[in-house]
Each structure stands twice: as structure tokens, then as C-alpha cells.
Chain A
């Protein structure tokens, strides 16, 4: 699909190259360089470089959250990070639209012929070195969150900022006047300088708010869809990183400690001891099989309980204003953002509601069986993608709690293989199972 799109745009550029103004050739060349990089996305998404067993299942899962007209390319990258690029159809539309010598109607017509009209193409990159680590790929929920976050930002950030801007600027002005009482002394000149400082600070605060909310909404979507598995994946991912880096030092990203705190809050119900009603019975939670996992995640909560990130956030006037605003509005923002998800995904994933399933799936992993089905043949049901990932985390932490040496390559790779197989089998069952079941009845 992406190749078709690229081919279509490049064909049009080639057809109209003689009409291209000479001073715009560099611009065209720049676009072609970007496009060449996008072709590499496609090339690297070939199966040999990806966790192939979970590709179709992941594509289906992601499309279910943002619409079946959304298509995802999953590719490895050498950088040890996850990222989302796109949406590519709109990107090409914008770029071709900025080349007035190419008739946009021709481009749109070609798009219709390719049946790409109304389609959306994204690319999710994952760390090459963690290719088979299906447990860590719970972070794909965060990347999907970028699509949701972009919607929320586009529709709401302007309104939110407009409502707060005057107050923010007033506090900034006060701070600037207190900090620079000595410059300059002419009243008129002084006001111009102060205004410029305030304007710069407000702009930084807006950027910090925008980027901060983007990442926090993404985290919220990840935890909403995958539950504690998303939190566990974030804990693992952030283990080697600074938890208290100032947004101004890292592309306006929120500090990891702040992010983890909000993720803990979202999962809190799954991490505390309680009695849950299940199948008409009252059961103590966490169940013995989940005990180690809940304890591990609970122990990690002390990371979030420390407030050293808040000290860092308070050191910068603009960042402090951004995070004061986020603190004040986060509950509503989170609810609004999650409401963008489709109806079937409105309920958050709760481990407390999946007790029997998780126990069953962990039991299968204990026997080296892929956890793709719940129950015993013939009374089985297909395990959900989210349940498989959560069961895998529960199993992994349980084994580590029993024996710290369990984490040898052989055991960890076996777990990855079983989880990948389970995800694939679960996808095939959901895609082809109903048709086969109908045949069974005839």
C-alpha cells in the first residue's frame, strides 16, 4: 500500500518535472529523499526482521482500535526505542498540494484508482534488538495512543490553552519581573523586554504541555488496552533510563517517573489486595498465581512515590506552568482521550476481571504450551491478545520470584516463542475459526 502510494506520487512528480520551477527542484529532491527512507520502512518490515508470528494479529488489533481503514507497517529500528510515523496518505497529500505545478485532482484521482482514498497508513518502529520480546511489545499500545493523542490535541488543546493562557502569562510576567528587577529601567523599554520573555516562556510552556500531554495520553491508551502488562513493559523499558530528566533536556518529553506515576494510578485497582466477585463467588485477589507479579509491580511503585521529578519540573518556570496545568486537568483530559477509542474498547483492561483466564493461560505456560486457548479441549475459547501478554508477564515474574537464575537465555527465549505462537494461533482462530465452526455444524 505504501509502495503504491509512493509510486503514485513519484510518477506524478516525474510526469511534471519539466514544469517544475528550477528554484523548487531542491524541495522536490528533499521529498524524494524522505520517500526513499519510507521505502526502507517497507523493506525492513519483511518478515525476517520482525516478530512475524504477531504481525497479522497486531495489525488486526491496532486497526480494531482506530478503524479498519488504518493500516500498519511494523518495522525494526536499530535505535532502542518505539516510534510511530505517518499518517502517510495525508503527508503525501500535503506535499503534493504544496507543488502547484502538479494538478492535485490528478493525484486524488490516482488515489481513488489505487483504492487508497480514505485509507490511512502508519508505521510503527520497534527496537531491533528486542524483536522477539513480545512482552515488551505491549508498548505498541502506547504507539497506537499517538493516533488518539493527535486527535485529542487537534480538537482540544487550543481550547484548553486559550482558557488558561491569560493566567499563565500573568504568573509568568510576575516571575519575570521578580527575576529581572534590574533590567532595564526605562518603563517602556522594560515592558517590551518583559513581554518578550513572557512570550518565549509561554511558547515553551505550550510546547511542554503539548508534548507532555501527547506522551501521557499515549501511556493512558497503552494501559487502558493492555492493563498492567503495559505498565510492566514501561517499567522494563525505562529501567536503564533517567527517571527525572527535565522536559527541556529531552525534547519536551515528560520525566519517566511522572509517566510511571500516572500509569500506576490507572492500574491501581489491579495491584491492591481485595476481595473480588468472580463467577458468583468471592475470591481473594491477587490469586496465588498472580501474587508475585502484583508484588513486583507494587514494589516498583516506590519509584513513582518519590517526587524528585516534581523538583525538576518546578525548576523551570515554563515547564512548571505546563505541568501545573496537566496536573489540574489530567483526569478530564484522560477521559476525553479514551472516549475517542471505539465502543468495544471503552472498558479498560482489568486483571481483576480476568482471573480465571490468566490462571488458565499461566498454567499452560508452566507446561510449555502456547497460551492461545482458554479451557480444556473441547470446551475451549480463543484467548485474547491482551490476556496472552498479561499472562506472559505474570508467568515471567512468577518464575523470577521463584528462581532469579530462571532468566537465562534458553528460558526467556522459550517464553517468547510460546507467547508468539499463542498470539498467532489466537489470530488464526479468530479469523478462520468461525467459518470452520459453521462447517462443523453442517
Chain B
């Protein structure tokens, strides 16, 4: 599995068949680097309303209640979003991305932002076949508020070939499909999550040493 470089990225962007890579819109050719593509910050954010929640219980908190803990905030293009120290906000890429079945992507923050304390993404891997904008977990781990303008180059995407290509790439019922803004957490829809959130039944603990 190797990282593809500029020529291959450009070739993939020109393809319109199943192997084509879609990043739309690419506002500037400067976004395409030697082995990566810079992506811009979208204008939608999800912020936490700490005063309305006690604790987030991923498998028991109803979706409606979760929405009351978080709030969608939209900034007009041209206006800033201020991320205060110690806070987390979900943002998204401005670009909408479609990955072919044989490419996976890695999201990396730009070092320029890291130097002022901004962490961009923690869930960095994007599976083949993904379609949508990428949700970014923006966190200010510095000590001063950071002003973010929608449209600024915020992160980089690195693409790696997936071998063999994924079958039914990102098909079926996925949690985050064709998103156009940051998505609320849907961890509660993990089918196996609740298994670990229940007490262990005494008669099911056989086979241990």
C-alpha cells in the first residue's frame, strides 16, 4: 500500500469512471501538493452545550437528547469562527470527496495550525468508497483563542492505494454517507457497542482460565 503522488492524484481527479477521485470544488491549484491535497474548512460547526448535559452515555442516550447536548452553528463565509482553548468543535471540509474503491485517505492537520495549538482530526482514516465532506474534530489545545475563517486551508489528505480494491465500497447502510456538514455522533448505532455496556451474566463467563 503506497501513498500516491501528484501525477497520480491529478490522473485520478480527471477520471470519471469508478476509479476516479472526486474532490469538489478545488478552488486553487495550489491545494494539490507533491503527495497530498489541502482541504479547506467548511462553514458549519457542531459545538457542545455543556450546560445542558450531565454525562454522555453512548449506548443509552437517546438521539434527541444527544442533539440537545450539541448545537449546529453556521458561520457566513467571510465571518470568523472562534475556537476557545480547551474546547472541541466538529467542523468539516468545504470540499466534498468521493473515494474510489481502491483508494483510502488519511487526514492530517497542517503543521502551521498545530503550532498555535489547533488539532484538526483524530479519526483520520477514510475508507474506500466514502462520499461526503469529512468531519473534522477541531480542538484548541493551546492557550489562546483561535480565529478560523471558513475557506482557509485546514488539513491535508494523503491517498493510499487499497489492494485489492474494496468490494461494495462504503455500500450498505453507513452512518455517515453523503454528508454536507459535520455529523452528530452516532456511536449509539454501533450494533455491538451495547454488548459491552451491559453487566456480564454469571452463566456466560465460562471458558476462562
Contact = CB atoms under 8 A, between A and B. Distances in A.
Interface string B65-79: 000000111101100
Interface residues of B, number: 32
Given A373-B25, A431-B77, A440-B28, A417 B151 contact: no
B27 A432 contact: yes
Contacts of A26: none
A166 to B, nearest CB: 55
B14 A376 contact: yes
A428 interface: yes
Interface in A34-58: 47-48, 52-53, 55-56
Nearest to A379: B14
Contacts of B115: none
Interface in A396-442: 414, 417-418, 420-421, 424-425, 427-429, 431-433, 436-437, 439-440
Interface residues of A, number: 35
A436 B28 contact: yes
A417 B22 contact: no
B24 A428 contact: no
B29 A369 contact: no
Interface string A139-181: 0000000000000000000000000000000000000000000
Contact of B13 (A377, A424, A439): A377
A58 to B, nearest CB: 13
A265 interface: no
Contacts of A370: 24, 96, 180
A418 B180 contact: yes
B178 A367 contact: no
A387 to B, nearest CB: 15
A429 B27 contact: yes
24 contacts: A47-B74, A48-B72, A48-B74, A56-B76, A368-B131, A370-B96, A370-B180, A377-B13, A377-B23, A378-B10, A378-B26, A380-B25, A421-B133, A425-B94, A428-B27, A428-B77, A429-B25, A432-B77, A432-B151, A433-B27, A439-B28, A439-B30, A440-B28, A440-B29
